[in-house]
Amino acid sequence: MSELPQELVDDVVDRLHDDPKALKVCSLICHAFCARSRRHIFRTVSLVDEKRCIDFCDLCQKSLYISRSVAILHVFTNSVFEKLLKSKLLGSFVTLYSATFRTVDFDTDRLPYHCFSAISSIRSITLAGVTFRDIVHFSTSLSYLTLLKKMNVYTITIRLAGQALPNSNGAVRRPRVQDLKLSCNLRDGPVLEAFANGDLISLRGLRNLSTMFCPQNILHLERLIQTPSLQVLGVKGLQPADLGSRDPLSLGNVHTLVLQINWYPDDSHLSAVRWWTRCLAISPSLQRVTILYDTRPPFSNPDHPRDDNNEDYARLTWMNLDRVFSEKTPFTLQSFRMTLCTDLVAKEDKLELKEYMEDMFPGIQARCKLRVDVVKDFRSVITR
């Protein structure tokens, strides 16, 4: 095919930048598309096994421009990361800003202790199902990521959980993460404690915190929530059986709260709502509150019948939340949003549920913006 005008090539690439397959076809048809489409085609690279990693490394050896286009890297398994380190290819990812590691065991002789130094320029990291030798190993690895701003952590295994972190006297530089997302399963206790102690990241710059599930020791999570710099807090599934009997904690400088409550037949979710109500009553800076209320039966027993006798207790619980907010002085709340996830199909049933919940919050509705939505799932809900 004869050469196309550069303006036409640029326009086509700009229109197809989110469609790598279409860009590949264009590049095969006309060489003029190669240079402009390369940075879009290889912007995100997922290496799920060693074979794909070898093929990608060979491709990068033939064209240095490919490695310079990689911005988001997904690494699965040890063999993939070992191959990347041995090929010394990571150093050529000059535009890399995000890395994801899944099912990687960093506690192995084949991975050097300082392996994170090869990706020191990244701004975002996701660790899912990975293993470190101890907290010292985890902390030392993160110390190489001096530019890190965002961190997602899911199910970290610490082999020597009892290993204490020595006093470094400032010798170990911890990344100043601004956005932290944590899973709080029972096995994540040592990791959660290390985060709360400031052993893994510097808490001075932490602005956004999102947590999922309920830890075995809620004290560590409470300390993390009370970080002075924290402004946006998202909590999902924090509903331990004894939550209602715990003392409330102030959310400090948090101005935006996103709280997900899951319905349970034993009414434990209402105890969680009452505890959070007491917390909100003593939190001076709250401006925006979003409650994601999943009214579907829990996965453990989807056929469990609902007890209609508990409806009055539920109504009193939500009306108490309304009373606390409407009487709060000074009144700082600007918006209150309730999003209900339900199995209801009929439009009339959804509208009835929406109006029922709106009637729970007359005080809030009189003093700030109230919004109640009914959805099929929370994936489409924008909470910030």
pLDDT tens per residue across span 205-249: 999 999 988 887 788 888 999 999 999 999 988 877 667 678 888
What's the CA gap between 124 and 151, in Å, rounded?
6
Amino acid at 211: T
Q: Give the strand pairing for 288-294 and 124-128.
A: unpaired
Q: How do residues 1-55 score in pLDDT, each as one tens digit?
A: 446 556 555 555 555 555 565 555 555 445 555 555 556 577 788 999 989 899 8
pLDDT in the model for residue 384: 56
Asked if pLDDT for residue 183 goes beyond 80, the answer is yes
Q: What is the pLDDT of residue 20?
A: 62
Enumerate the domain spans of the chain.
1-41, 231-384
At 38 the pLDDT is 59
pLDDT of residue 164: 55
pLDDT digits (tens, 9 = 90+) for 140-175: 999 999 999 999 999 898 888 765 555 554 556 899
Write down the pLDDT at residue 241: 66
pLDDT of residue 44: 83
Q: Is the Cα torsion angle 325, 381, 126, 94 positive or negative in sign?
A: negative
- How many C-beta neighbours within 10 Å does residue 228 have? 9
The number of angstroms, rounded, from the C-alpha of 112 to the middle of its chain's C-alpha atoms is 28
| pLDDT exceeds 50 at position 301 | no
pLDDT, residue 110, reads 80
Among residues 278, 288, 260, which one has the least CA distance to residue 321? 278
Burial class (CB in 10 A: 0-12, 13-18, 19+), 245: exposed
Which has more confidence, 12 or 349?
349
Q: Contact, 50 vs 79, CB < 8 A?
A: yes
Residues 267, 60: Cα–Cα separation, whole Å: 57
| Residue 122 in this model has a pLDDT that exceeds 60 | yes
- Mean pLDDT score across all residues of the chain: 82
CATH fold label, 231-384:
Rossmann fold (3.40.50)
From 36-40, 93-97, 251-255, 369-373, the region with the lowest mean pLDDT: 36-40
Quote the pLDDT of residue 300: 43
